[in-house]
């Protein structure tokens, strides 16, 4: 099976490592296959191949590189059903949800086609002394992208499309839980005309991640995942003189004002809170409702909508979301619910005893809702990557903003209101990188920058958008002068150069 292997030099390869790990079907709990884990010797081999291939690719014309990007977009569209099936089997999300993430991944390819525009340099004629000055961008060389389990197609494409377009050799390390989609993307890049060695995939766990962080041939690293791991990658990667962009956890709050359309707010909270079994870094985790009457009315509407949700396997017709990704993830969700109750939360909807007929061994969690959550509770303090959501109550907008800004994460935040004043204050004062006004999941489109604030991001770069082009390129500034061959040498001068 292709997904069980690495992709090196244009071919699937088990590598030199001896370790393996299981890939599960989360709907059944069964092992689908064993994944070969890469070791440092395998990475050395990958980098050796990538160095030569990347150098040639980086020197190729923009027209050639963008032609591959256009073709890759066509192939991803053609194979959407195949990719969605792979995502569903290994991640657990429904086919419709998987196709949605693939569509967002296409945005990254579409923006990458604009690479010649976003990377073009500057020119100034005669800055002084008949010296012309210009700048241009070149690829970093070899870049590594460490992707999460929750978006097996969208995030790898968001990370790598611009890296390929700007002329880098790319090493993708997908999550060891969901390697199948990365394997299929490898086939598509080859079919699109990308030269062998420009795109590589290495599978594994912390061992290969540490090797990537330390390898001298790798110049830049992009990561998406949990905060603890992301901070580790940022600190260790930068200590080895690499540029690192690390996109980490979120605890995304949704403020609901008394003047909001509560039907709209309830629908937004349920869809953005429970979609993908809540395994999204931009999922709405907490509704911060202003006013007791507003909270009581919204809660009634939310509970009614939760009651209509259907949980099932990725290919179950009409399923709203599937299982969480591992047995450990299911236990973490159930433990969080139990702790919330012990700490004084009101368990309004309990999804812990969900049974899905025919999938008794799967990692299914039903939707759960806890009301009267406070800032001293674990359920507010920690990112819970599963379908348990929180209701908090605030007396006014000031208190609601204080709750949002007190959290260590600042990935995204939303407000539902009809008030221009409230929305303007929210946008100006909330400490989050991506903001929604009557929009529950404010994920920017592919030509805008994606990234949070505070401990939701380490490093200055952003994913998607123009910042991706800057991250994957290095700037050179050239001062040049071509003197008149008939001119007379002015002699030696020891003064500091000036442009006068």
- Residues 6 or more apart from 48 whose CB is under 8 A from it? none
**CA distances for 390 relative to 280, 301, 335, angstroms:** 15, 15, 15
Q: What gap in Å lies between CA 393 and CA 256, rounded to an integer?
A: 10
* pLDDT per residue as tens digits for the range 309-339: 999 999 999 999 999 999 999 999 999 999 9
- Tokens for 311? 């949980």
281 is catalytic: yes
Q: Which of 153, 36, 20 is nearest to 93 (CA)?
A: 153
Q: 409 and 466, same structural domain?
A: no
Measured in residues, the chain has a length of 500
Q: Is residue 129 classed as helix, strand or coil in its secondary structure? A: coil
Closest CA to 168 of 370, 434, 470, 371: 470
Contact 468, 114 (CB under 8 A): no
Count other C-beta atoms under 10 Å from residue 81's C-beta: 12
Q: Which helix (H) or strand (E) segment is 274 a member of?
A: helix 262-274
Q: Which two tokens stand for residue 77?
A: 């569209």
Determine, yes or no, domain membership for 483. no
Query: pLDDT band at residue 385, thresholds of 50, 70 and 90?
Result: confident
Mean pLDDT of the chain: 91
Contact between 381 and 414 under an 8 Å Cβ cutoff? The reply is no
Q: Is 447 domain-assigned?
A: no
Whole-number pLDDT of residue 344: 95
Burial class (CB in 10 A: 0-12, 13-18, 19+), 51: middle
For residue 29, give the CATH number of its domain.
3.40.605.10
DSSP state of 4: G
Query: Does one domain contain both 235 and 260?
Result: no
Give the domain range for residue 276.
Answer: 252-437
Q: For 410-441, write each residue's pLDDT tens digit.
A: 778 899 999 999 999 999 998 887 788 998 87
Residues 239 and 269 occupy one common structural domain: no
Does residue 69 lie in a domain region? yes
Alpha-carbon distances of 487 from 195, 484, 491, 497, rounded to whole Å: 49, 5, 12, 20
Q: Please count the other Cβ atoms lying within 10 Å of the Cβ belonging to residue 410.
A: 24
Token pair in block for residue 476? 């050179």
Whole-prediction pTM: 0.92
Residue 482 is predicted with a pLDDT of 87
Q: Which of 47, 145, 281, 365 is catalytic?
A: 281
Q: How many domains does the chain have?
A: 2
Cα–Cα distance measured from residue 116 to residue 61, given in angstroms and rounded to the nearest whole number: 10
Q: Are 369 and 460 within one domain?
A: no
* Model pLDDT for residues 57-82, shown as the tens digit of each residue: 999 999 999 999 999 999 999 999 99
142-161 per-position pLDDT tens digit: 999 999 999 999 999 999 99
In a domain, 495, yes or no: no
Region 84-106: mean pLDDT is 95
Task: Please say if the pLDDT value at position 269 is more than 90.
Answer: yes
Q: Is residue 129 part of a domain?
A: yes
């Amino acid at each position: 099976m292709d997904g069980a292997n690495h992709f090196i030099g244009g071919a699937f390869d088990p590598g030199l490592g001896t370790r393996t790990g299981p890939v599960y079907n989360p709907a059944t709990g069964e092992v689908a296959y064993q994944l070969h884990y890469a070791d440092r010797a395998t990475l050395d081999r990958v980098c050796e191949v990538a160095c030569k291939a990347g150098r040639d690719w980086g020197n190729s014309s923009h027209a050639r590189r963008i032609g591959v990007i256009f073709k890759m977009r066509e192939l991803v569209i053609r194979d959407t059903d195949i990719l969605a099936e792979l995502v569903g089997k290994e991640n657990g999300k429904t086919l419709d949800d998987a196709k949605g993430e693939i569509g967002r991944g296409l945005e990254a390819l579409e923006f990458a086609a604009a690479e010649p525009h976003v990377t073009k340099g500057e020119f100034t004629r005669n800055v002084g002394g008949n010296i012309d000055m210009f700048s241009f961008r070149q690829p970093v060389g070899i870049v590594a992208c460490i992707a999460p389990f929750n978006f097996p197609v969208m995030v790898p494409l968001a990370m790598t499309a611009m890296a390929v377009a700007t002329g880098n050799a790319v090493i993708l390390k997908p999550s060891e839980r969901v390697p199948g989609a990365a394997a299929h993307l490898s086939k598509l890049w080859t079919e699109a005309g990308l030269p062998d060695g420009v795109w590589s995939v290495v599978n594994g766990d912390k061992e290969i991640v540490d090797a990537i962080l330390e390898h001298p041939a790798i110049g830049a690293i992009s990561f998406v995942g949990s905060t603890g791991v992301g901070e580790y990658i940022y600190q260790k990667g930068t200590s080895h003189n690499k540029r690192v962009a690390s996109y980490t956890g979120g605890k995304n709050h949704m403020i609901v004002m008394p003047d909001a359309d509560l039907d709209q707010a309830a629908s937004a909270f349920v869809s953005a809170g429970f979609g993908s079994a809540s395994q999204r870094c931009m999922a709405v985790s907490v509704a911060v409702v202003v006013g007791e009457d507003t909270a009581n009315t919204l809660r009634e509407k939310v509970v009614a909508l939760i009651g209509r949700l259907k949980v099932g396997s990725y290919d179950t017709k009409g399923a709203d979301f599937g299982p969480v990704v591992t047995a450990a993830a299911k236990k973490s969700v159930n433990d969080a619910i139990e702790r919330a109750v012990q700490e004084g939360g009101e368990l309004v909807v309990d999804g812990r005893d969900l049974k899905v007929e025919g999938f008794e061994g799967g990692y299914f969690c039903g939707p759960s809702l806890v009301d009267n959550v406070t800032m001293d509770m674990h359920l507010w303090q920690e990112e819970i990557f599963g379908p348990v959501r929180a209701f908090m109550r605030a007396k006014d907008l000031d208190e609601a903003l204080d709750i949002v800004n007190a959290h260590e994460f600042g990935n995204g935040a939303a407000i539902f209101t009809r008030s221009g004043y409230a929305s303007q204050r929210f946008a100006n004062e909330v400490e989050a990188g991506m903001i929604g006004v009557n929009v529950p999941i404010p994920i920017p489109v592919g030509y805008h920058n994606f990234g949070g604030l505070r401990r939701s991001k380490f490093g200055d770069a952003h994913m998607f958008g123009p910042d991706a082009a800057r991250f994957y390129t290095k700037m050179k500034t050239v001062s040049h002068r071509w003197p008149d061959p008939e001119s007379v040498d002015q002699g030696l001068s020891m003064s500091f150069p000036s442009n006068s």
